[in-house]
């Protein structure tokens, strides 16, 4: 079983001065974001008239309260949005099947015999938390899953500390869904940065959350390698799975990603390419919370095309986004 639980809080007394400790969350959000930014970048950010990608991400966290950001953070709503896109534009996009939706894993345990051998458990309203299950490889540890589910139903650092408003508005639910691929680890990610509905770059992410994590970045054509300046970047002369994709598959992937990425000025569209098909994963509007070790020239380069929205203008599709966030959907086994 593969698991991700989110960040780990240092032990006392360091926890008292750590951002995830008991005191930091009570500071005003603007001060929290400035202190976090200073800690990660070593400089005081310009969040009023931002220029860098990392600064614009802070601006979004501090100011942007549009419903579309909640849709992006609500996994079930984003899956429904992508399903609508696929139907409307007749684009082939794989969407993992949702088996169960609820608030208590004990309810899911009662239908254990109906679950397939391989499946995934994760919260609908948070990121970086997941359990990858395969009962054919090892018995399901239901005690662990129940404990994880109970913990995930509580507010976490994304809302209480980092102030990522979209997650606070997402429905507090748990999801059991289809597990893609056939290996012991998650399939390799295709993480596409989309700006104004056009792919800026696509990162093939291999071995995420492991010491062997490597990235190969591609231009919009999915052929030309993108100079990303990542330390874990795969050499440009080393072939990857993306290099084996056919021209038709590249066209299909590009069309799917750009159709999904049209609704937010800058969004990361996370997906997978499994057995000749592009699968949607999730939308990420708070990438790394804007707190990464991005080299300054690269930070400036990727920040330049991001045009911040006019928040005084009403969103004509507000009601549509709210509809996607209404009610509690049922899984196919419910």
Domains assigned to the chain: 2-324 (3.30.470)
Q: Decide if pLDDT at 110 tops 60.
A: yes
Report the pLDDT value the prediction gives residue 107, as an integer from 0 to 100.
Answer: 98
CA separation for the pair 34, 44 (Å, rounded): 7
21 or 11: whose pLDDT is higher?
A: 21
- What is the reported pTM? 0.92
**In angstroms, what is the C-alpha Rg of the chain?**
20
Q: For residues 96 and 177, is the Cβ–Cβ distance under 8 A?
A: yes
> What is the CB neighbour count within 10 angstroms for residue 202?
27
Report the pLDDT value the prediction gives residue 127, as an integer from 0 to 100.
Answer: 92
Report the pLDDT value the prediction gives residue 211, as an integer from 0 to 100.
Answer: 80
CA separation for the pair 285, 64 (Å, rounded): 11
> What is the CB neighbour count within 10 angstroms for residue 111?
14
The mean of the pLDDT values for the chain is: 92
């Amino acid at each position: 079983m593969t698991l991700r639980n989110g960040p780990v809080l240092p032990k006392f007394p360091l926890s008292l001065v750590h951002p995830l400790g008991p005191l930091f969350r009570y500071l005003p959000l603007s001060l929290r974001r400035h202190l976090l930014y200073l800690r990660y970048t070593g400089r005081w950010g310009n969040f009023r008239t931002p220029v860098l990608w990392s600064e614009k991400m802070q601006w979004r966290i501090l100011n942007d309260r549009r419903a579309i950001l909640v849709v992006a953070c609500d996994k079930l709503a984003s899956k429904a949005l992508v399903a609508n896109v696929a139907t409307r534009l007749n684009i082939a996009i794989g969407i993992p099947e949702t088996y169960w939706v609820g608030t208590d894993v004990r309810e899911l345990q009662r239908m254990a015999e109906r679950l397939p051998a391989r499946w995934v458990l994760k919260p609908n309203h948070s990121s970086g938390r997941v359990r990858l299950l395969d009962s054919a490889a090892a018995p399901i540890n239901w005690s662990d899953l129940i404990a994880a589910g109970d913990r995930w139903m509580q507010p976490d650092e994304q809302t209480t500390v980092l102030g990522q408003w979209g997650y606070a508005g997402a429905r507090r639910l748990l999801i059991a869904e289809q597990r893609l691929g056939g290996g012991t680890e998650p399939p390799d990610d295709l993480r596409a940065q989309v700006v104004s509905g056009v792919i800026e770059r696509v990162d093939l992410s291999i071995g995420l959350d492991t010491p062997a994590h490597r990235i190969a970045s591609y231009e919009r054509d999915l052929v030309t390698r993108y100079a990303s300046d990542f330390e874990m970047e795969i050499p440009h002369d080393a072939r990857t799975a993306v290099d084996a994709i056919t021209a038709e598959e590249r066209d299909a992937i590009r069309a799917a990603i750009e159709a999904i990425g049209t609704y937010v000025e800058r969004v990361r569209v996370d997906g997978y390419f499994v057995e000749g098909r592009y699968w949607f994963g999730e939308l990420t509007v708070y990438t790394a919370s804007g707190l990464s070790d991005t080299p300054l020239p690269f930070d400036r380069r990727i920040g330049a095309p991001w045009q911040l929205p006019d928040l005084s203008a009403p969103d004509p599709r507000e009601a549509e986004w709210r509809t996607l966030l209404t009610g509690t959907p049922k899984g196919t086994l419910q």
